[in-house]
Amino acid sequence: MKKHIFLCAFILCLFCAMPVFAVEFTDVDGHWSKENIQYITDKGLIDGYPDGSFRPNGQITRAEFVMILAREAGVDLTSFSGKVPYSDVNDHWGASAIQWATENGVVDGYTDGRFLPDGNISRQELAVMFYRYLVKVKDNLPDATMETTPFTDDDEIGVWAKEAVYGLQATGIINGNEDGSFTPERAITRGETAKILAYYLRNVEIPEGNQVKIYVNGSLVKSNVRVETVDGVNMIQARPFVESMGYEITFYPTTKLLVVDNDSQDLQCWIGKTNAYVNGNETTLAAAPILSNENTMFPLKAMADALNISVTENESTKSIYISCTLPSILRNANGFYGTASTQNDINGLLSLGFNDQRDGFYGTVASGNLTYGSFTTATGHRYIGNWANGTMTGSGRYISSMGELYVGTFSKGHITEGIGYLIDGATFRGTWYHNATTSATYPSVGQFTDADGITYGNASSDWSNGGLTESKW
């Protein structure tokens, strides 16, 4: 028994809280992850071995990684009894950390009731634990600033792990192997773990002085939200700000465009370099959105005004109070939101132009005509606005699956007048021409601004005659 107690105490010393000093390991010189290893050990997240080594190519256990997360969260583990619903943990040195992680939804065990604390953690298991930690403990998943590309061994990634794996890939926290694979079931190494943690701490973690809480209509809904002051303008992290009000946010890497929307609450907002478009209304921002520590930040006051919400900042409590009314409109069948004179389900086909028809809507609801609503095609194109005879006609907005945005007046699903925010970052404001034969829509008369902000022409410039003709568009 004494030997058992001594062994537990020895293992615990590798993870106990103590002053952190720079350590020179005997086996990391020349290793690709040396700087990451030094960084996270200096932060006190993980230690080396008594012989002075770090063993960067060695594996890390499930219990060890849970302890790392507990350290990063600053958890006082003495307040946890170590009683957990796993048959193989209660006498384990990491029981208290595993209890904390279980109660916070970071980990769960296997179907046979075990946790396997001393089992080597796989790459996909680590991704799931870390993803849950960011969402459920830190309450702040970084923005998706990278394009996600399916790994070559995507079919080997567990269904239960795909959201986490690709969610972290989109934030830049994890990536695959040089050959494009992810090797999800391979045990992750200590060096690879150090890289993930170092990237998070350097690029994602929010300094305490830059954190605020968000209250909506009196209730706390978000913590650990990043704020910064840039050239005198208060900037706030975009994702948690809009999610606190129940909206969704999508980042389109090809156009660098943010889309804030919630069809059931009749709101869509596109945020570009200097302008925001809320339900078709354009607002000039006090400052351009920026990317800071892998998070998109936008000007707080300008976005609050654009979204027509009241925001109060309390510097002493590091809190932001939002007051807003969230209208709700009728949800019909097949993912369609809109208003109609009856509440019956939609039947038939929806014609969207471009010879694109989807099951679920014809244009009339029982005896009433659909007049306003939104629809997303199976290929990811989104339409919202006024409708007539099954097509968007009148004031509306359209965003392609790649992130191109068109706001203005439409006829049978095609823009005729308004602004287009294009894939390469250029914009065109004016009238548009649609060629029914080729199904192409391109500028007709108006002003063109390229991705560098250089403006060509004016409101009366004719682009179909020696300018941006269909063949050049």
Residue 271 belongs to a domain with what CATH number?
3.30.457.10
If asked whether residues 198 and 219 sit together in one domain, one would say no
Average pLDDT over the chain, rounded to an integer: 77
The count of structural domains within the chain is 3
Tell me the C-alpha distance between 337 and 350, whole Å.
Answer: 13
Report the pLDDT averaged over residues 395-409. 84
Residue 393 forms part of a structural domain: yes
Is 193 found in the same domain as 58? yes
Least confident of 215-229, 240-254, 437-451: 240-254
Last residue of a domain, one of 186, 203, 220: 203
Within this chain, do residues 352 and 451 fall inside the same structural domain, yes or no?
yes
Q: What are phi and psi of 413, to 5 degrees?
A: 90, 0
pLDDT score, position 373: 67
CA–CA distance, 255 with 324 (Å, rounded to integer): 30
Residue 60 counted as domain residue? yes
Most confident of 113-117, 149-153, 205-209, 303-307: 113-117
Strand partners of residue 284: 275
More confident residue, 151 or 308: 151
Domain final residue, candidates 297, 323, 349: 323
Mean pLDDT of 145-167: 88
Model confidence pLDDT, tens digit, residues 285-329: 777 777 666 677 888 887 787 777 888 887 777 787 877 665 444
Co-location of 367 and 432 in the same domain: yes
C-alpha 40, offset from chain centre: 25
Predicted pLDDT at 68: 96
Instruction: Residue 162: count other Cβ atoms within 10 Å of its Cβ.
Output: 17
pLDDT at 327: 47
Residues contacting residue 149 through CB under 8 Å, at least 6 positions apart: 169, 180
| pLDDT value for 294 | 61
Is there a domain that residue 175 lies in? yes
Give the global pTM.
Answer: 0.56
pLDDT of res. 87: 93
Q: Is residue 9 domain-shared with residue 54, that is, in the same domain?
A: yes
Pair 47, 162 in one domain: yes
> Which long-range contacts does 443-446 make (Cβ < 8 Å, 24+ apart)?
443/467, 443/468, 443/473
Q: Which of 6-10, 256-260, 348-352 has the highest mean pLDDT?
A: 256-260
84/40 same-domain check: yes
pLDDT at position 100 over 70 = yes
Q: Which pLDDT value is given to residue 9?
A: 35
pLDDT at 311: 84
Most confident of 152-161, 228-237, 303-312, 420-429: 152-161
Average pLDDT over residues 147-172: 90
| Domain presence at residue 67 | yes
Cβ–Cβ under 8 Å, residues 321 and 314: yes
The proportion of the chain whose per-residue pLDDT surpasses 90, expressed as a percent, equals: 31
Question: What's residue 272's pLDDT?
Answer: 65
| CA 27 vs CA 24, 34, 55, 187, 282: distances in Å | 9, 9, 7, 20, 58
How many residues appear in the chain?
Answer: 473
pLDDT digit string, tens, across residues 50-88? 999 999 999 999 999 999 999 999 999 999 988 899 999
Pair (220, 369) in one structural domain: no
Return the pLDDT at 368. 41
464 within a domain of the structure (yes/no):
no
Please tell me whether residues 57 and 189 are part of one structural domain: yes
Residue 264 falls within a domain, yes or no? yes
Least confident of 105-109, 193-197, 453-457: 453-457
**Poorest-pLDDT segment among 24-28, 203-207, 328-332, 403-407:** 328-332
**Is residue 220 located within the same domain as residue 184?**
no
Residues 6+ apart with CB under 8 A from 458: 447
Rounded Cα–Cα distance for residues 315 and 335 (Å): 41
| Rounded distance between C-alpha atoms, residue 53 and residue 66, angstroms | 21
List the domain range (segments joined by +) for residue 304. 208-323
Asked whether residue 276 falls in the same domain as residue 343, the answer is no
Lowest average pLDDT, out of 83-97, 263-277, 342-356, 380-394, goes to: 342-356
Is the CB of residue 289 less than 8 Å from the CB of residue 273? yes
Q: Is the separation of the CB atoms in 359 and 333 below 8 Å? A: no
Average pLDDT over residues 10-39: 69
> What are the residues whose beta carbons fall under 8 Å from the beta carbon of 234, sequence distance 6 or more?
227, 228, 299, 300, 301, 313
Q: Is residue 473 domain-resident?
A: no
pLDDT at 220: 82
Most confident of 68-77, 147-156, 203-212, 452-461: 68-77
For β-strands 319-323 and 211-216, DSSP reports them as: parallel
Distance, in Å, from the CA atom of 60 to the CA atom of 125, rounded to the nearest integer, reads: 12
- Output 27 or 260, whichever has higher pLDDT: 27
Average pLDDT of span 13-26 = 53
Is residue 462 a part of any domain in this protein?
no
Q: Is the pLDDT of residue 179 over 80?
A: yes
Question: What is the pLDDT, as a whole number, of residue 249?
Answer: 74
pLDDT computed for residue 268 by the predictor: 61
Most confident stretch, 67-81, 240-254, 397-411, 424-438: 67-81
pLDDT beyond 80 at 166: yes
- HEC letters along the chain: CHHHHHHHHHHHHCCCCCCCCCCCCCCCCCCCCHHHHHHHHHCCCCCCCCCCCCCCCCECEHHHHHHHHHHHHCCCHHHCCCCCCCCCCCCCCCHHHHHHHHHCCCCCCCCCCCCCCCCECEHHHHHHHHHHHHHHHCCCCCCCCCCCCCCCCHHHCCHHHHHHHHHHHHHCCCCCCCCCCCCCCCECEHHHHHHHHHHHHHHCCCCHHHEEEEEECCEEEEEEEEEEEECCEEEEEHHHHHHCCCCEEEEECCCCEEEEEEHHHCEEEEECCCEEEECCEEEECCCCCEEECCEEEEEHHHHHHHCCCEEEEECCCCEEEEECCCCCCCECCCCCEEECCCCCCCCCEEECCCCCEEECCCCEECCEECCEEEEECCCCCEEEEEEECCEEEEEEEEECCCCCEEEEEEECCEEEEEEEECCCCCEEEEEEEEECCCCEEEEEEEEEECCCCCEECCCCCECCCCCCCCCCC
- Provide the CB-side half-sphere exposure for 102 (13 A, CA): 23
Query: Average of pLDDT values for 272-285?
Result: 68
15 exposure class (CB count in 10 Å sphere: 0-12, 13-18, 19+): buried
pLDDT band at 146 (very low <50, low <70, confident <90, very high): low
pLDDT at residue 343 is higher than 60: no
Token pair belonging to 366 = 């029982």
The predicted structure's pLDDT at residue 358: 39
The residue among 387 and 201 whose pLDDT is bigger is: 201
- For residue 185, name the pLDDT band (cuts at 50, 70, 90): very high
- Asked if pLDDT for residue 24 goes beyond 80, the answer is yes
Give the pairing of strands 357-359 and 275-278.
Answer: unpaired
Question: What six digits make up the tokens of 411?
Answer: 């006829």
Instruction: Provide the pLDDT confidence category of residue 158 given band limits of 50, 70 and 90.
Output: very high
Task: Tell me the C-alpha distance between 444 and 405, whole Å.
Answer: 17
CA 326, distance to chain mean position in Å, is 22
- Same domain for 216 and 138? no
Let me know: does 106 contact 136? Beta carbons within 8 Å: yes
Asked whether 189 and 59 are in contact (CB, 8 A), the reply is yes
